[in-house]
Amino acid sequence: MKSHKARIVPFMRGSFIVLLSFTIAQDCLAQRIRTAVGPAAPRITSAPKAAYNSMAKDTTPFNCEQYAGHPHPTMKSFCEGLEADVLGAEARRAGRPGPSRDVIELPPMGSASAKARGMACIGGQAMRKLPNGWEQMHSDAGGWQRCRVR
């Protein structure tokens, strides 16, 4: 005949497993309750980045002049149209005034012809001389006038 102790040990082993699983379940429930509070408010550590500006260095970033001698005659005009669309869309997304579709040739600032005409190409932007400084020229088709130095 088995002793009385032998019957108690399996019972305790089973109850220990039940108690352990109950404890684990309680920990899971407690974690769920803590996560229901939600994340903390995001902290802004730096100023937002400015929008990308492909015209920061040059107002004709696609360099469509390279297609002047292309075998297909409309390649240069295709490149210029694509460039104007991309620059206009970028300016619109960034909330800046849009550039003109056309690019005119003007003399550089400080040259004799720029002084005689009263207009110059400064950083790819067509500028008109005023008595007290310069003003940016606007295209007839809309937008600020882009230019290249001749």
- The pLDDT value given to residue 4: 58
Report whether pLDDT(28) > 60.
Answer: no
Under the phi-then-psi rule, with left for phi > 0, alpha for psi from -120 to 50, and beta for the rest, what region is 92?
alpha
Would you say 100 and 124 are in contact if contact means Cβ atoms under 8 Å apart?
A: no
pLDDT, tens digit, for every residue of 47-86? 878 888 888 888 889 999 899 999 999 999 999 999 999 9
Report whether pLDDT(12) > 70.
Answer: no
Would you say 81 and 146 are in contact if contact means Cβ atoms under 8 Å apart?
A: no
* Residue that is written with structure tokens 């102790």 in the block: 5
Q: What average pLDDT does the segment 120-137 reach?
A: 93
Report whether pLDDT(1) > 90.
Answer: no
Contacts of 138 (CB under 8 A, 6+ apart): 100, 144, 145
Question: At 9, is the pLDDT very low, low, confident or very high (cuts 50, 70, 90)?
Answer: low
pTM: 0.62
